[in-house]
Amino acid sequence: MNVNYIWYFLTFLTLVSAIMVVVVRNPIHSVLYLILTFFCISAHYVLLNAQFLAAVNVIVYAGAIMVLFLFVIMFLNLREYTAESKTNLVKLGAAVLGGVLLVIIVAALRSMQIEPLNKATYNSQVGMVESLGKVLFRDYLLPFELITVLFFVAMVGAVMLGKRETGERNF
Amino acid sequence: MQPTIPDVVQTIPLPYYIWFASALFVIGIVGVLTRRNAIIIFMSVEVMLNAVNLLLVAFSAYRSDPAGQVFVFFIMAVAAAEVSVGLAIIVMIYRNIQSIDIGLLNRLKG
Amino acid sequence: MDSTVFIVRSIIIFVIFGITLLIATYSTYAERKVAAFLQDRLGPNRAGPFGIWQPLADAVKMFTKEEFIPAQANKWLFIAGPCFAMLTALMASAVIPFGDTVQYEGQFIAVQGIDINIGILWIFGIVSLGVYGVMIGGWASNNKFSLLGAIRAASQNISYELAMGLSIIAILMMSGSLSLRDMVNQQATPFLGVSGLNWNIFYQPVGFIIFLTCAFAECNRTPFDLPECETELVGGYHTEYSSMKLGFYLFAEYINMFVSSAVISALYFGGFNFPGQAWVASLLPAGALGHNLLTSIGVVVFFGKIFFFIFFYMWVRWTLPRFRYDQLMNLGWKTLIPLAILNIVVTGAGLLFDFKPATWLIVIFVVVLAVISAAQPRKTMRPQQSTV
């Protein structure tokens, strides 16, 4: 099937760029690889027919959050980051730990039972704006309101933290 | 939009998505453990959050239940709030110690 | 997909691509001519009749200039910056509905790149990515002026994207769809007895003004061209760029201008609908020919609207001076965003009580406020002049 090749390619690209985020030394390159990762994940959403989330993923993650990251890195002018003080032993340990964790997750999920696809009741429109809006504003209205409060608190917190007090040095 | 099942849902088994998301999550964990640059650690956390998002969307699409995608919204909102506060903290740290190496933050010890 | 549909689709996509580039090219010429007109000069008139080959001459000049990469620059990112800018600028025009459907062998084919049901979100996503080209280019130049320009561009774009998104929400509440085609089709209904004049501008004047202001800021056009202002930052983010890499940045700006003009006309000015289109349709012969003719008239009308807005951009550029940076931020965060939120609330109330032009109340309120403040005795900042 055609779509399968796209799926495998996207998965490969996502994993490689995610690994590059962690491995690359220059923070700017890291940010760019992370943007690529988010794009691939958005493409996965499109394949899963979750178009609205794909667009929101691009707007929120690639368009806002990563711009903030890039902004801070530029602002602090972090060039090649050389003072990597963690030893190789720690890195090796972390890699082994990660591998073990992956094996444990996969092994634990190996015996799970997955319901076969019910073609009669399948609704391909779940990822569309209408159905999401209905669920969001009917069933999850309280969490939605709480999220707005969270945003407000975060905004106040960020402004308070970033505010420069009198007499403080300007970088 | 035709009311058909997406091709991916028909041909790719759901466990593939689980393995894929687990691998992404583990990459994030390794990043948090190995790097000392606070911004890179933050980005690794973002990778982990996205792994969870992907898995939620996959489950939602395979079971045709919109609730999973609504949860992704909430995760995105929390991630945005987290990033705004976290980056403000990082900027403050940089102002105080001229570095964002978390190894140099041991002066937080009482 | 049917092969004829596929071929017609490909032709439409290529034509849209080519037209985007052509209009962007000739916008540079138009900009010079408009500037000359507004400043009582002649403008380019050497290359060809009325200087119409000037863009080609510019292109030749751009291509043959020395390609220069600073020694301390990050080479790959330095090259990637203009490419990003160009890519994101070109991607946005894919979802714009340039016209109604074309009837061909009994099939209706939309004059549009792709009709996705999240069209407006697509445009938002692409616009929010547009800042990367500027940021990467400015950072990779390894130049303080470029870096400052890039940081300015980033903060400006993020700030104005918020107000832009909020101003769009009001229009989404009215149309109930994210697809640009649906939104345009909804504006085809009669307004005060004139068909095809049910434009959103009559219901959303405040949203339109906010959107227009934000579009200026997103395109980095004067009065918001802080990222590249010569007097403060030498050349802003493209200080170190030369040759066609600089050309890409400038070209991307013109493409953005074209796309934003198209989006403004589609959202607020009825897109390819024109006043009295039902009457025109009744004059045309029935069947495929009449339908296609009506569509082509609509396309021409849509491009007329786009050209008007491109002209408006240039008009404003040579009329208004540049803002100061703190004024820009104050305008974005303290005026436009609260106004946009107020607009959403009033629009929602209007929909609830079935009074669609509710946002005119905001306009009336603001105008009354302005008149009252103007009528009051002016507190001058100057010291009192002594009477002679």
pLDDT tens track for B44-80: 999 999 999 999 998 888 888 888 888 998 999 898 8
Average pLDDT of the residues in A157-163: 83
When mean pLDDT is compared across B81-90, B99-108, C138-147, the lowest value belongs to: B99-108
Instruction: Work out the minimum CA distance from A131 to partner chain C, whole angstroms.
Output: 13
Q: Is residue C16 part of a domain?
A: no
Query: Tell me, what amino acid is at C230?
Result: E
Q: What are phi and psi of C104, to 5 degrees?
A: -140, 115
Question: How is residue B75 written in tokens?
Answer: 């995760």
Verify whether the Cβ–Cβ distance B69 to A127 is below 8 Å: yes
* CATH code where residue B19 lies: 1.10.287.3510
Average pLDDT taken over every residue of chain A: 82
- Residue A146: which pLDDT band, with cuts at 50, 70 and 90? very high
C92-102, pLDDT tens digit by residue? Answer: 888 888 877 77
Say which of A51, A62, A75 has its CB closest to residue C118: A51
Which residues in chain A touch residue C124, judged by CB atoms under 8 angstroms apart? Answer: 55, 59, 63
Give the one of A56, A64, A119 whose C-beta lies nearest to B5's C-beta: A119
Helices B67-97 and A129-138, axial angle in degrees (round to 10): 80
Instruction: Output the CA torsion C204→C206→C208→C213 (10° steps).
Output: -170
Residue C213 lies in a domain: yes
C 178-237: CB under 8 A from A: 178
CB contact under 8 A, A70 and C77: no
Our count of domains for chain C comes to 1
C152, closest residue in chain A (CA to CA): A71
pLDDT at A149: 93
Closest chain B residue to A57 measured between Cα atoms? B76
A10-40 tens-digit pLDDT: 899 999 999 988 888 888 888 889 999 999 9
Search chain C and give the residue with CA nearest A73: C139
Measured between beta carbons, the chain B residues lying within 8 angstroms of A19 are 27
Kindly report the average pLDDT of chain C as a whole number.
Answer: 82
- Whether B89 maps to a domain, the answer reads yes
CB A47 within 8 A of CB A8: no
Query: Which residues of chain C are modeled with pLDDT < 70?
Result: 1-2, 227, 229-232, 378-388
Domain carrying residue B35: 7-99
Nearest to A34 by CA among A53, A13, A18: A18
Output the six-digit token pair for C90.
């070109």
Contacts of A134 in chain B (CB under 8 A): 66
More confident residue, C3 or A53: A53
Angle between helical axes of B67-97 and A66-76 (0-180°, round to 10): 10
6-45 in B: which are within 8 Å (CB) of A? 6-16, 18-20, 22-31, 33-37, 39-40, 42-44
C305's tokens? 């609207």
Residue C93 belongs to a domain: yes
Domain boundaries, chain A: 1-80, 128-164
Write down the pLDDT at residue B49.
Answer: 92
Between strands C107-111 and C99-104, the pairing is antiparallel
Residue B109 domain flag: no
Structure tokens at C42: 């002649």
Q: Which two tokens stand for residue C138?
A: 């400015």
> What gap in Å lies between CA C256 and CA C263, rounded to an integer?
10
For residues C299 and C290, what is the distance between their CA atoms, to the nearest angstrom? 14
Paired strand residues for C194? C191
* Domain boundaries, position C356: 60-103+116-374
How far from B70 is each of A58, A123, A141, CA to CA, in Å?
16, 16, 11
Angle subtended by helix axes C119-140 and A27-47, to nearest 10: 160
> Quick one: what percent of chain A has pLDDT higher than 70?
88
Residue C380 confidence (pLDDT): 60
Among chain B residues, CA nearest to A91: B34
Tokens of A116: 């076969």
Tell me how many domains chain B contains: 1
What gap in Å lies between CA C227 and CA C219, rounded to an integer? Answer: 11
Enter the CATH code of domain A1-80. Answer: 1.20.120.1200
* Average pLDDT value for residue range A116-128: 73
Size of interface A-C (CB pairs under 8 A): 66
Residues 97-156 on A with a CB inside 8 Å of B are 97-99, 101-102, 105-106, 109, 112, 114-115, 117, 119, 121-128, 131-132, 134-136, 139-140, 143, 147, 150-151, 153-155
Whether residue B50 and residue A41 make contact (CB cut-off 8 A), yes or no, is: yes
Inform me whether the pLDDT recorded for B1 exceeds 50. Answer: no
Record the tokens describing residue C286, joined without a space.
């029935």
Across the interface, of A28, A63, A70, the residue whose CB is closest to C128 is A63
- Residue C207 covered by a domain: yes
Does residue B43 sit within a domain?
A: yes
Q: Do B11 and A3 touch (CB under 8 A)?
A: yes
Rounded Cα distance, C201 and C265, in Å? 10
Across the interface, whether the CB atoms of A34 and B80 are under 8 A apart is answered no
- Confidence at A79, pLDDT banded by 50, 70, 90: low
